[in-house]
Structure 1
Amino acid sequence: MKLAKLYMDYKPLLISIAYRMLGSLTDAEDIVQDVFISLERVQLDEIQHQKAFLVKMTTNRCLNLLSSSRKQREVYPGSWLPEPDIGETIASPEEQVVQEETVSYALLVVLQQLNPVERAVFLLREVLLYEYSEIADILDKTEANCRKIYSRVKPKIQQEMEDPLSSSNSISHKKDLVNSFLHASRTGDFASFVHLLADEAVLISDGGGKRRAAIFPITGRERIQAFLEGIQGKNSFGGELRPIAINGEPGLLLVRDGDPQLAICFRAAPHHSAIQTIYFVVNPDKLKRAI
């Protein structure tokens, strides 16, 4: 009974930590399931700080998995993007404040660019508000080392945490982007959509070698427009392009014959509402949960 209550109380928190660490909801759920299976052999009454114990177990399992999968990412075909958290409804700004487990896709991408230990220190300090002594205990490092890691990482992440499209008008702005892309995909004319991009905007595709995708990022408005119009001419947007929520924000999901083909979401330019990055997730392994 105690184990069941722990599971109900802490499962959402632990999955949110693992998802931020791994960039994969599927792996996050597997890690958390493994944590609770291992607790069947533990005397729960002897654990004084159960939340801290569970967070430490989850974090260390994530670090172990990332260490073992590092080589796989190094040889990954093309760009590697996190698995999107796809839902049916978009949270209002008020709901987003309450939904602490939600992390924007753009922020998730930036987190994955940190090394695993940097990621863990940042999440434990910034998201869980742990003291450096607690972080040091979880990661088996000194407090001074944890402080140094955090101070080095914080500036890299701060920009995404202050994303202008994370303000109260972000939902309507991104809905406009979604509608503009929808119109362009139907007509084949992406000029109006591309006008919403920053001059040096980037389109990043992740096909994982399992579906056709641009191997290298596509940079600049003109090249992005040419790419989009080119693949539209090959009927790459054929099917149903649905407005959906990706990590709580407006995005698009292309479904063909009941099979998810492509998830699209956007990142704003720093201190500006123009779009800096378009993410195309095509890898079918990262779209299994989409429908």
Structure 2
Amino acid sequence: MINKPVPPVVETDEVTVVVATRNRPDRLRETVPHHRATTIVVDNASDQPLHVPGAEVVRLDENIGAAARNTGALRARTPFVAFADDDSYWAPGSLARAVEIFRAHPEAALLTGRVLIGPDGRLDPVSAGMAATPIGTPAGAAGPSVLGFLSCAVVVRRSAFLAAGGFNPRLFVYGEEALLAMDLAAAGHQLSYVPELVVRHFPEPAGRDNRARARREARNRALTALLRRPPAVAARTLAEVARTQPAALPHLVRDLGWALRHRRRLPEPVELALRRLAG
């Protein structure tokens, strides 16, 4: 259960909160009142049009998955964009603090915050992993370097996000963050974990098809390797997917040609960092 919403407060006019959603109006009614900045809700062709008090709603004609966030970022007019899911929100003070950090760190393109799950505020294991990253903290960076993130827990420099192409529509959802992280790092930007920025996340305990999610995550992991990693890494990833998620292979095969046509190797420092993360 989400805490009672606070009265609407705009703590910064330099951030736009972008929320992509589909068929979850009840969750939006709970979370949107917590957003402390201008908010754009991008509706991925919900069955019924959404009305969300306190937010601008952009309704899409079709469900484009994570790329709906690109639509919100394009519509925003602020230098920074914070992404949230329809079941999450940024804790008070986090957005204003993110602006201060970006101003102090001009090389930063992405700040990812500490995610606390549920009413009891359990630390998300992904956040714990980021705090212990083996790729360290570069001199002058805002925090430990990351090459991945949870999409509901990042604030981005809008210009860098758009220049990198945002979330690739071909990946749709689940695991779409990895490719964007690689491309931002390849462009020379810093991506940092900043635990003082806090996200509250209230995922529903049931209702999602976990098997379908696992298939799509496996497919996207393989496509991302084909798009950016060395041949040996791509081959190992394909073999792992074939062994652990064979049901993902038909979905993967359809996009192999596209991935090979858009293949682009990462700069060596980024590739080395990915290898360190993989152990």
Same fold (TM over 0.5): no
Q: Which has the higher helix share?
A: 1
TM norm structure 2: 0.24
TM norm structure 1: 0.23
